[in-house]
Structure 1
Amino acid sequence: MSPDLRARRSTAGWLRPAGSDPDARAALFLFHYSGGGVSMYSRWPGFLPPSVECRRVQLPGRQDRLEELAFTELAPLVTALCEVISRELDGRPYALFGHSMGALLAYRVAVAMEARGPRPALLGVSGWAPEGFSMPGRALVEGPAEGIVALLRELGTLPGGDLDPELSARVVASMRADLAVCAGYRDDRARVGCPLVAYGGRDDPYLAPGALRSWASRGDGFLGVREFPGGHFFIHDHGPGIAMDLVQLLHRHIAG
């Protein structure tokens, strides 16, 4: 049995917080970037009003799920995510948002939920586009650890200097698995029926100029691009602004 199939056996522990808020009008599911975890959204519960509950998605193979097998293929990961989210739905509207690899996951979950139902009320994508994004190649995914460490340092997610060997091995393993998920993606130009909004950093080196506009062809409800100062990880400095915009759009489309 492949690691991805074994990892699908359990979908416990995917969400932070584990329980839903019965008083919220809607839920916002957040997907983290490659090599990361829910800690990137640690401040987001404070950015959202009581009407929108914050449900952070933690993939296996990192942080407090380090002992679990990480996914290395996109399709089984999306299937597992749909199962997790479907069990949380109780008739209230929900939105999906992700940054970088998280944007890819949010998009493919929205596509899958289009057929499975119910579809999300809003899809927010950040730092990734279906066209014009520099995806990792198999050479990096299957190459030596030094290449992945160099990428992590380039991204700013690992400090310079010597690293603890055990910590380095763990970080590299989760990043390698996530890069494999991304490298295996083949664009089928799938469309979503829900409103879609894109966010990006003006100086993101991984996005070609105008790449975020490619989202306009992925659905009838494209709400445009919001650009912020910064590079690929602009989200760390502009979380409140992104969250506020998502909440306003979600409330607008719930009311509509």
Structure 2
Amino acid sequence: MVQRRAIVNRWFQPDEVPADAAVRLFLLPYAGGNAGMFRDWLPLFPADIAAQAVQPPGRLDRRDEPLVTDLGPMTEALGEAIAAELDGRPFALFGHSMGGLLAYRVAVLLAAEYGTPPILVASAGWTPEGFSMPTLEQVQLPQPELVSWIVGLGSLPPVIYQDPELLELTIPPTRADLTACARYVDDGAPVPCPVISYTGRDDPLLTADAPESWNGRSPEYLGNSAFPGGHFFIYAAALPIVTDLTRHLRRLAALTSIPGH
């Protein structure tokens, strides 16, 4: 049991959460990202929201593990890790870009295979329809062209792609994740809980009406909040997103304690 928990907890930072928090929240990074992208987010959540950032395999402290280039195995592995981590408290999933897609698929899997749906899926910068998924041709671009394309999506801190050492760490998982996205085939599966979305007003990957596609996937779509910036708008919007998420999580968690909900 100790060994299994140690393996499972490689997925989450921090690896443990306070026992008195009312709600658990798992934060999923964008393609090529890691748990570090949420370092500044974690202190913003109040004490009753226990947030953990997801660390995908093949990067940073999990560099000894192989990268995953297919969303199916990634969904199953993360779903298993979250299911093993749950302790009866209500929980939610938040993801940006590929993280939003993964949050959606993990929510579907947790409900179908474990009978434990989240109380909320929050998706930033990704929608089921109206989102321009990468192509395999883009994924295979030479490194300078790939970097130029990513930076052109807007609002990404330039330091990430200007440091050669950071590039060496970032490009392999980015290609792997983008490959998984390019191979993804949408099956229209409904998500078994309310959904809320967040977008950048100048995101070149989303059409203007893309967020409305959640209406056909969720029993309760809670709407979209648009922020200034491109695809990586979340770096500047952390506080308002955390504030909005906290409000919805508290309301939905309270509903779960009411008989019949």
TM-score by length of 1: 0.90
| Structure 2 residue 254 is the aligned partner of structure 1 residue 227 | no
User: Superposition pairs for residues 172-251 of structure 1, below 5 Å?
Assistant: 172-251=171-250
AA partner of residue 170 (structure 2): V
Check whether the contact 1:193–1:221 (CA below 8 A) recurs between aligned residues. Answer: no
Change beyond 3 A, Cα 1:189–1:210: same
Per mean C-alpha deviation after superposition, the further-off stretch among 148-157 and 40-49 is 148-157
Contact kept? 2:96, 2:124, Cα under 8 Å: yes
Aligned length: 246
Ranges in structure 1 where 5+ consecutive residues have no aligned partner: 1-9
SS of the residue 1:13 aligns to: helix
C-alpha distance after superposition, 1:191-246 (max 9, x if no partner): 01211101111111110111111111111111111111221111111111111111
1:41 lines up with 2:46 in the alignment: no
Q: CA deviation at 1:157?
A: 5.1
The 10-residue stretch of structure 1 (239-248 or 149-158) with the greater mean CA deviation from structure 2: 149-158
- The AA in structure 2 aligned to 1:152 is I
2:120 maps to 122
What stretches of structure 1 move > 4 A for 4+ residues in a row? 157-163
Alpha-carbon distance change, 245 to 193 in structure 1, aligned in 2, over 3 angstroms: same
Structure 1 match to 2:254: 255
Percent identity between the aligned chains?
44
Q: How far is the alpha carbon of 1:147 from its aligned partner? A: 3.2
Letter in 1 for 2:50: E
| CA-CA distance at 1:163 after TM superposition | 5.2
Query: For the structure 1 residues 66 and 158, does the alpha-carbon distance in structure 2 shift closer, same or farther, using more than 3 Å as the test?
Result: farther
The normalised TM-score by structure 2 is 0.88
1:133 to 2:99 alignment: no
Kept in 2: contact 1:191–1:218 (CA 8 A): yes
* Residue in structure 1 matched with residue 77 of structure 2 by the alignment: 80
Separation in structure 1 between the aligned mates of residue 246 and residue 162 of structure 2, nearest angstrom: 42
Structure 2 equivalent of residue 18 of structure 1: 15
Note the residue ranges of structure 2 that are not aligned, 5 or more in a row: 1-6, 256-261
Match for 2:148 among 147, 150, 160? 150
Matched, 1:57 2:54: yes
Q: Report the Cα distance in structure 2 between the residues aligned to 1:45 and 1:65, rounded to whole angstroms.
A: 20
Could you tell me which amino acid in structure 2 is paired with residue 27 of structure 1? R
Amino acid across the alignment from 2:223: G
> What residue number does 2:3 align with?
none
RMSD, aligned α-carbons:
1.8
Inter-partner Cα distance in structure 2 for 1:148 and 1:121? 37
